Chain A
């Protein structure tokens, strides 16, 4: 199963359409959480919003997750050990209030298990690959640093 998620705040039809266009080439179910997007797409099962339980359940069952470049999604992919294809929302196309997803995608590009797609064609090629690997699990040195710093700060706080 392929799980598509665009977050709940804004629609991201370019991403959902890119996956839906591949439905007939993929012999698997596509489940999408599309946000406020009323487009009817017969080839995929879409939900505007998923409560946390179902979101986690779909995430856990997915072979591959395709998403906007949202940090929540990236952290979920690390937690659930799922290969993740991200497409940054672009400000100039009215897909977000600013261009921060582009910055996020640039920073994450090249990390194990995180695949950045900037076009419909790149999404399509990732969907057809069967060699995508999950992200690195466990605490990165940077996250251990942040947690350690906060812990000390809180302990020494008045």
Chain B
């Protein structure tokens, strides 16, 4: 078997979502990773050179969500990732939905901030993620997501 380097697109909004993605970076070490986040300067802060800026959006910003979808679709078509992974929030859900449609492996890691139930983005992401992880056992049990540890 030949070991092919996986192309990974890792998406996280700025803030806690991004910090969790950074904490999980060792998991992507064997792949070629392109990062997407919502705040200028953030990838550089963590020494990442392969990264793109995407518009932040949430449920109350439909226009930005559409723009974000458009830009993520471009990124996915350009980079052709084998795996798309996100720690949240809505931009990550959009990335996973597009990824599922375009045949990529999709992974959602729900924010560790959600200790009691899956986040609202997580509930949405569950439809598109082949692997949906909660970082707490209780929300995993309640939602049917998997549990495999946490960043804390």
Interfacial residues, chain A to chain B (CB-CB below 8 A): 7-9, 51-53, 56, 70-76, 100-101, 103-104, 106-108, 140-151, 153-155, 157-158
Contact = CB atoms under 8 A, between A and B. Distances in A.
Nearest to A9: B15
Interface of A (DSSP majority class): helix
Contacts, number: 117
Contacts of B29: 151
Contact of A157 (B24, B83, B113): B83
Closest 6 CB pairs of A and B: A145-B149, A146-B149, A72-B16, A150-B27, A71-B16, A149-B148
Given A142-B149, A153-B131, A157-B83, A147 B27 contact: yes
Contact of A70 (B15, B41, B109, B149): B15
Contacts of B8: 154
Given A7-B15, A157-B83, A75 B107 contact: no
13 contacts: A52-B42, A70-B15, A71-B16, A75-B23, A76-B19, A100-B114, A143-B152, A144-B149, A150-B27, A151-B30, A154-B31, A154-B85, A154-B107
B28 interface: yes
A104 B136 CA distance: 11
B6 A107 contact: no
A25 to B, nearest CB: 31
A154 B41 contact: no
Contacts of B23: 75, 143
Interface residues of B, number: 45
A154 B30 contact: yes
A76 B152 CA distance: 11
A153 B41 CA distance: 30
Interface string B55-98: 00000000000000000000000000011010000000000000
B39 interface: yes
B115 A104 contact: yes
A107 B45 CA distance: 29
A158 B107 CA distance: 13
B112 interface: yes
A146 B119 CA distance: 19
B39 to A, nearest CB: 7
A71 B24 CA distance: 14
Contacts of B133: 146, 149
B27 A106 contact: no
Interface in B101-152: 105, 107, 109, 111-116, 119, 131, 133, 135-136, 148-152
B35 interface: no
Contacts of A146: 24, 27, 109, 133, 135, 148-151
